Amino acid sequence: MSSENILDLTQDAVALTASLCNIPSVSLEEGPLADAVEAALRGLSHLSVTRDGNTVVARTDLGRSERVVLAGHLDTVPLTEPANLPVHREGDYLVGRGTTDMKGGVAVQLRLAAELTAPSRDITFVFYDAEEIADEHNGLARLARTHPDLLAADFAVLLEPTDDAIEGGCNGYVTVLVHTRGTAAHSARPWMGHNAIHDVADVLARIERGQLPDADVDGLTYRQSLSAVGISGGIADNVIPDHAVVTVNLRFAPQWTQDQAVSYLVDDVFAGLETEVIDRSAGARPGLDRPAAAAFIEALGLPVRAKLGWTDVARFSALGIPAVNFGPGEAQFAHADDERCRVDQIVAAEASLRRWLA
């Protein structure tokens, strides 16, 4: 363990956010930050701490009737050139890599971990690695495979930036290739062949007809969509093409399983066409009917809306744990070169969660 980075959990959440940001932790390089977080947590006698790669889990074990997870990822997207670190203050904002995505949230987790020595619900704090890169590296996914017991809970909050709102569950998605097949011919004599690109008109018309209405799930409204996200075809400028392919992305509300969503595309929208599913992921129900969730919403008193983009809350949902996103920061600044976070949102998020868990 490195002794270079000491995190002082008694400083306020804004100052702690700055300290966390100033330990760079681009995906796959989270070691120094994970070391610092682990060291800080191991100094707290009311928590039992587990290290798994660069993921750190800290749990209270007070025998409460409910257990909740507060989760956040330690990694960031790459720094800019020149580096957008160390962070600095600009008016109401803390500016620099990681401020909004999501070291403000991690600072709130650490403050609550240090100060809530006797919370009303048992708490599992999860600080995980490699959220910003391919699934295979994701620390939360790894933990769900290797130590699902460490994640067991009645409800989970992922502290991704939600701009002063609560975002429940998330849409699932399916990506399919839709192939059209024709017969090649010289383009001087197209009637000797069959043009596969011309058949793409039918695929696009089916996408238009296949749009899905809004869906209400557990009291939240999920907007659904069907989009062509890629298209290719053609052999040469003098050849009638014998093949074209459209990549189509469906975002479906979490009242459907993955299989239902796939069936909608394959057996309904593109029935009779050649389809190939290349990616799919389940959505997550918000589970706002659970007692811990209802108490959370009542304690925070903030607007609740459906999450449309897929997030790691779906990993909790797959474990049977309803989950929401709630954390400081505005999503529009995530990954941006001028990444920044309003400091009052960091302070307010800590206060809200403390109100719920004290």
Options 55, 76, 99, 195; binder of a copy of itself; rule CB under 8 A:
195
Work out the burial of residue 137: count CB atoms within 10 Å of its CB; fewer than 13 is exposed, 13-18 middle, 19 or more buried: middle
Q: Closest separation between CB of residue 118 and a copy of itself, Å?
A: 40
Interaction between residue 358 and a copy of itself (CB under 8 A): no
Binding mask 305-344 for a copy of itself (x = CB under 8 A): ---xxx----------------------------------
Interaction between residue 209 and a copy of itself (CB under 8 A): no
Q: Identify which of 169, 167, 170, 151 has the alpha carbon closest to the alpha carbon of residue 67.
A: 151
Handedness of CA 8, 10, 13, 15 (dihedral sign): negative
Q: Closest separation between CB of residue 203 and a copy of itself, Å?
A: 9
Residue 282 DSSP SS3: coil
Interaction between residue 76 and a copy of itself (CB under 8 A): no
Residue 271 DSSP SS3: coil
Q: How many residues does the chain have?
A: 358
Q: Closest separation between CB of residue 232 and a copy of itself, Å?
A: 5
Contacts of 12 (CB under 8 A, 6+ apart): 347
Pick the piece of the chain touching a copy of itself (CB under 8 A) from 46-54, 83-91, 212-220, 221-229: 221-229
Interaction between residue 197 and a copy of itself (CB under 8 A): yes
| Residue carrying structure tokens 């389809």 | 275
75 assigned to active site: yes
169 sits in the region (left: phi over 0; alpha: psi -120 to 50; else beta) called left
Determine the distance from the C-alpha atom of residue 87 to the mean position of all C-alpha atoms in its chain, rounded to a whole number. 24
Residue 75 DSSP SS3: coil
Q: Closest separation between CB of residue 161 and a copy of itself, Å?
A: 14
Work out the burial of residue 302: count CB atoms within 10 Å of its CB; fewer than 13 is exposed, 13-18 middle, 19 or more buried: middle
Interaction between residue 175 and a copy of itself (CB under 8 A): yes
Q: Closest separation between CB of residue 103 and a copy of itself, Å?
A: 22
Residue 256 DSSP SS3: coil
Options 42, 64, 198, 280; binder of a copy of itself; rule CB under 8 A:
198
Options 1, 201, 318, 358; binder of a copy of itself; rule CB under 8 A:
201
Work out the burial of residue 305: count CB atoms within 10 Å of its CB; fewer than 13 is exposed, 13-18 middle, 19 or more buried: middle
Contacts of 123 (CB under 8 A, 6+ apart): 59, 60, 67, 68, 69, 70, 112, 113, 116, 357
Q: Closest separation between CB of residue 307 and a copy of itself, Å?
A: 9
Interaction between residue 189 and a copy of itself (CB under 8 A): yes
Using CB under 8 A as the binding criterion, the count of chain residues that bind a copy of itself stands at: 45
Pick the piece of the chain touching a copy of itself (CB under 8 A) from 34-42, 137-145, 148-156, 247-255: 247-255
Options 239, 277, 319, 348; binder of a copy of itself; rule CB under 8 A:
239
Q: Closest separation between CB of residue 329 and a copy of itself, Å?
A: 17
The answer to whether residues 301 and 351 touch, using CB atoms and an 8 Å cutoff, is no
Options 65, 117, 146, 227; binder of a copy of itself; rule CB under 8 A:
227
Interaction between residue 240 and a copy of itself (CB under 8 A): yes
Options 117, 146, 225, 263; binder of a copy of itself; rule CB under 8 A:
225
Work out the burial of residue 82: count CB atoms within 10 Å of its CB; fewer than 13 is exposed, 13-18 middle, 19 or more buried: exposed
167 assigned to active site: no
Contacts of 44 (CB under 8 A, 6+ apart): 58, 113, 114
Query: Which of these is catalytic: 30, 35, 38, 75?
Result: 75
Pick 11 or 247: Cβ nearer a copy of itself:
247
Q: What tokens were used for 323? A: 């989950």
Catalytic positions, please?
75, 131
Note the residues at the interface with a copy of itself (CB under 8 A).
171, 173, 175, 186-191, 195, 197-198, 200-201, 204-205, 207-208, 223, 225, 227-241, 244, 246-247, 249, 251, 278-279, 308-310
